[in-house]
């Protein structure tokens, strides 16, 4: 049952991303991406990470993608038909690179067919929080400094002169 | 749940390949390039969470949390830069920004 749900969510995720990277307008691409990030959040929940699933919905779908939407609406881009759309010439190296990644994946899977035993261990939020604030306390401080620097940098870049 | 780890890794690598293709193909639009970077970072997060669930250690989830903080910092700076560039040249086409004059 859960495995079936996982595969359905994986299909939704991959189709949503495929539609997002081939969309003609940026706003549509953002909406497709929000859909696929919701599917990704459910996959995180199935993998035993409820906190990361909640953060995925709140931070990614709720904040970062809405920030993208704000900027797109604010920029008043000219009509979307006039925006340059990649030709086949531009898609060719992209397909080549993606094909290289997928091909190496196939080679890797064919060479090592012995399967790891299935089954995932759920990690409770208590263990997560313990590791976060006891073991990686310095990293939390570093991340907070990094967010402060990003805030100052964004203010500097965005000021009117 | 009884999904092997390799299937999670397959999904993550397909996602990464699509994000890479997005960055390479949409060289004419800065915002689509940023979206491609987002897709790639999410693929990495899926890999981290899958490994964390497979070995039962919380470190992978921790690193995906750090990755989320890094991504929000990166996106705020990059979008501020997009607004700045658009104010200068009224376009988001990367081919227009080919000079390094201060």
| Topology annotation, domain A1-78 | 1.20.120
Q: Closest Cα of chain A to B5: distance in Å?
A: 7
Number of domains in chain B: 1
Q: Is residue B2 over pLDDT 90? A: no
CA distance B42 to B45: 5
B73 and A120 within 8 Å at the Cβ level: the answer is: no
Q: CB A125: neighbour CB atoms within 10 A?
A: 13
Q: Say if residue B88's pLDDT is above 60.
A: yes
- Asked if B16 and A100 count as a contact pair (C-beta separation under 8 A), the reply is no
Per-residue pLDDT tens over the stretch A72-113: 888 876 655 556 666 677 788 888 888 888 888 888 877 765
Query: pLDDT tens-digit profile of A4-60?
Result: 999 999 999 999 999 998 888 888 999 999 999 999 999 999 988 889 999 999 998
A146 Cβ partners below 8 Å, 6+ apart? B69, B70, B73
Interface of A with B in 4-63 (CB under 8 A): 6-7, 10, 13-14, 17-18, 20-21, 26, 29-30, 33, 37, 40, 43-44, 46-49, 51-52, 55-56, 59-60, 63
The ipTM of this complex is: 0.89
Kindly list the domain boundaries of chain A, sorted by start residue.
1-78, 123-161
pLDDT of residue A136 exceeding 80, the answer is yes
What is the nearest CA distance from A31 to chain B, expressed in angstroms? 12
Choose from B2, B3, B59 for mutation: most chain A CBs within 10 A: B3
> In the A/B pair of chains, how many CB contacts fall below 8 A?
225
* B99 domain residue, yes or no: no
Q: What is the dihedral of CA A10, A15, A17, A22, to 10 degrees?
A: 170
- Look up the CATH number of the domain holding residue B41: 1.10.287.3510
- Specify the 3-state DSSP secondary structure of B41: helix
Asked if residue B101 is part of any domain, the answer here is: no
Which structural domain, as residue segments, surrounds residue B66? 5-94
Determine the Cα–Cα distance for residues A20 and B22; give it in Å rounded to an integer: 9
Nearest CA in chain A to B39: A17
pLDDT of residue A83: 61
For chain B, what percent of residues have pLDDT higher than 90?
44
| Measured CA distances, A11 to A15, A68, B15, B54 (Å) | 6, 25, 11, 21
Cβ contact B49:B68 at 8 Å: no
* Residue B97 backbone phi and psi in degrees, to 5: -100, 70
Residue B19 lies in a domain: yes
């Amino acid at each position: 049952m859960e495995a079936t749900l996982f595969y359905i969510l994986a299909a939704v995720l991959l189709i949503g991303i495929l539609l997002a990277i081939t969309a003609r307008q940026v706003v549509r691409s953002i909406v497709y991406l929000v859909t696929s990030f919701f599917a990704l959040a459910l996959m995180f929940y199935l993998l035993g990470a409820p906190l990361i699933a909640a953060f995925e919905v709140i931070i990614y779908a709720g904040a970062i993608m809405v920030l993208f939407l704000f900027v797109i609406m604010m920029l008043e881009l000219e009509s979307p038909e006039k925006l340059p759309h990649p030709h086949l010439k531009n898609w060719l190296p992209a397909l080549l690179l993606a094909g290289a990644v997928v091909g190496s994946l196939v080679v890797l899977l064919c060479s090592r067919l012995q399967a790891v035993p299935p089954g995932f261990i759920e990690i409770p939020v208590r263990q997560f929080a313990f590791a976060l604030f006891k073991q990686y306390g310095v990293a939390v401080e570093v991340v907070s400094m990094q967010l402060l620097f990003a805030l100052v940098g964004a203010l500097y870049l965005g000021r009117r002169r | 749940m009884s999904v092997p780890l390799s299937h999670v890794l397959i999904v993550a690598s397909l996602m990464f390949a699509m994000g890479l293709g997005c960055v390479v193909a949409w060289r004419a639009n800065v915002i689509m390039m940023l979206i491609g970077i987002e897709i790639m970072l999410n693929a990495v997060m899926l890999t981290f969470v899958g490994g964390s669930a497979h070995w039962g250690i919380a470190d992978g989830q921790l690193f995906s949390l750090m990755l989320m903080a890094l991504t929000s910092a990166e996106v705020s700076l990059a979008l501020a830069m997009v607004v700045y560039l658009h104010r200068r040249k009224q376009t988001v086409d990367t081919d227009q920004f080919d000079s390094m004059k201060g």
